[in-house]
Amino acid sequence: MPTTKEKTVKKPAAKSKAAANASSVTLHGLAPYVEKKNEEYMNEQQREHFKQILKAWRHELMEEVDRTVTHMKDEAANFPDPADRATQEEEFSLELRTRDRERKLIKKIDKTLLRVEEDDYGFCDQCGVDIGIRRLEARPTANLCVDCKTLDEIKERQITGG
């Protein structure tokens, strides 16, 4: 029997280099999806995986909203110095702008969760092809494949001249 200093350490089974790298990166606390050979695209396990990612991401954003409200209540002070007041107002303004972007993202996550429920998730809105597991893990709310997104960006640059 090992003493407290001599603990038995189980060695994990050997993994491929790609699998080891993939498992070391987490998405909102969840490990990346490992595709199985000849697995059907957007099967029940994949949809469940992305549903968990989206819900975890939404939860993180909602916690941040709560922290902001608490912070703004706690930090709200009427500074006698106009420069201090202006600094606080600017900080609050930036924080509120960030929360507004996150509010829009929460709406997009909610729409994406509906698509998962309706079995419409993971397919391009423009051409209908598979968006791909890795792209969805990079951007779970993606609704365009890489090719269609690239074309959209090129068109936008041509219109805006940017």
Owner of token pair 């423009």: 126
Residue 8 CA: distances (Å) to CA of 11, 15, 34, 83: 10, 21, 29, 61
Q: 117 is written with which tokens?
A: 């429920």
Tokens coding 150: 């690239």
Please state, rounded to an integer, the average pLDDT across all residues of the chain.
84
Residue 78 counted as domain residue: yes
Closest CA to 104 of 145, 58, 152: 58
Which pLDDT belongs to residue 25? 57
* Best CA proximity match to 60, nearest among 121, 102, 110: 102
Instruction: Catalogue the E-assigned strands of the chain.
Output: none
| Predicted confidence (pLDDT) at residue 2 exceeds the cutoff of 90 | no
pLDDT at residue 162, as a whole number: 67
The reply to whether 17 falls in a domain is no
- What per-residue confidence (pLDDT) applies to 82? 87
Give the pLDDT confidence score for residue 78 in this predicted structure: 77
Q: Check residue 105 and give its pLDDT.
A: 97
Average pLDDT over residues 80-106: 91
Q: Given its phi and psi angles, is residue 128 left (phi above 0), alpha (psi -120 to 50 degrees) or beta?
A: left
Whether the per-residue pLDDT at 14 is higher than 70: the answer is no
Name the DSSP class of 38.
T
Distance between CA atoms of residues 145 and 155, nearest Å: 16
- Pair 63, 111 in one domain: yes
**Which residues form the domain of 73?**
40-121
User: Angle at Cα 141 formed by Cα 145 and Cα 102, nearest 5°?
Assistant: 140
What 3-state class would DSSP assign to 35?
A: coil
Position 88 in a domain: yes
Q: What is the pLDDT of residues 23-78, one digit of tens each?
A: 445 667 888 998 999 999 999 999 999 999 999 999 999 999 888 888 887 777 77
Examine the domain organization and report whether 96 and 44 are in the same domain. yes
Number of Cβ within 10 Å of residue 48's Cβ equals: 12
Count the domains in the chain.
2
Q: Give me the CATH number covering residue 89.
A: 1.20.120.910
